[in-house]
């Protein structure tokens, strides 16, 4: 059993518990539920940098990355840096995140927000909308084609963008459908945790041009982005690189300045 399998087992228990605590009607009455969402896909299409900066306290592969920062400072710092969007980890057990982080980020910036989560139930998509997200992440490795279709169409009905993440060609082929906005290639091998940009390069030619291409994991310097741009990538998800510093916003500012040189 790999880490993803363990996470999904725990996530099913967690979602069942949350459903019992907060009914759907309560989520739909949230002040943020009627908010007009911002399209991350459109922002990425028109951006020179394409940076999606992440708020991440820890991860199964790296343990603690940064526990001392508050979400408000990180969100406003990223916005001032000029990133395209912000990814907020909301998984508690493995990543130290929460829906409160999403809520705080929403109150602190106008950026399009991605709820970075292991979505296995429509209820989590309603939560994303109720807590101020603009985008949801769907992970092909943990979903069937039917689930990807069901969840992405449901997200679109709520005016949320959909970023679908794949790790290989098999996942990509089962996932391509019109209800997605962005296709993300995760460069991290989930079995070994090794990271290689070659994954993004090799899959780029198979991703139809209708989708905004996003590369995730292992982007730790400007050269990685310059290497991937010729392959049609418009979005670059960067987490640990900024979060492992004392000031992620300042770190993102420097990164974008260097990229624009």
Residue numbers annotated as active site? 54, 56, 116, 165, 186, 216-217
Q: Find residue 89's DSSP bridge partners.
A: 116
Please state the separation of Cα 246 from the chain's center in Å.
22
- Residue 101 and residue 109: Cα distance in Å, rounded? 12
Burial track 151-161 (b if 16+ CB lie within 10 A, e otherwise): bbebbeebebb
Phi, psi at 43, each rounded to 5°: -60, -45
- Residue 144 and residue 243: Cα distance in Å, rounded? 32
- Residue 201 and residue 157: Cα distance in Å, rounded? 32
The continuous run of DSSP H or E covering 233 comes out as strand 233-238
């Amino acid at each position: 059993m790999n880490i993803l399998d363990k996470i999904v087992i725990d996530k099913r228990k967690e979602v069942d518990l949350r459903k019992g605590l907060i009914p759907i009607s309560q989520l739909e009455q949230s002040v943020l539920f009627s908010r007009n969402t911002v399209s991350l896909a459109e922002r990425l299409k028109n951006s020179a940098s394409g940076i999606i900066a992440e708020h991440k306290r820890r991860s199964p592969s790296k343990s603690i990355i940064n526990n001392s920062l508050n979400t408000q400072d990180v969100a406003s710092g990223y916005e001032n840096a000029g990133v395209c969007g912000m990814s907020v980890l909301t998984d508690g057990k493995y990543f130290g995140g929460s829906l409160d982080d999403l809520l705080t980020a929403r109150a602190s910036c106008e950026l399009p927000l991605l709820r970075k989560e292991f979505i296995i139930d429509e209820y989590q998509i309603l939560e994303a909308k109720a807590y101020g997200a603009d985008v949801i992440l769907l992970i092909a490795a943990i979903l069937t084609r039917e689930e990807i279709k069901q969840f992405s169409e449901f997200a679109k009905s709520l005016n949320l963008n959909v970023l679908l993440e794949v790790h290989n060609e098999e996942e990509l082929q089962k996932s391509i459908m019109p209800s997605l906005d962005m296709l993300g290639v995760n460069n991290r091998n989930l079995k070994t945790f090794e990271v290689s940009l070659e994954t993004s390069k090799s899959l780029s030619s198979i991703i139809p041009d209708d989708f905004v291409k996003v590369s995730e994991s292992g982007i730790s310097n400007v050269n990685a982005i310059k290497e991937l741009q010729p392959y049609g990538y418009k979005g670059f998800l960067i987490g640990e690189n900024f979060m492992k510093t004392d000031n992620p916003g300042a770190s993102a500012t420097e990164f974008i300045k260097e990229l624009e040189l």
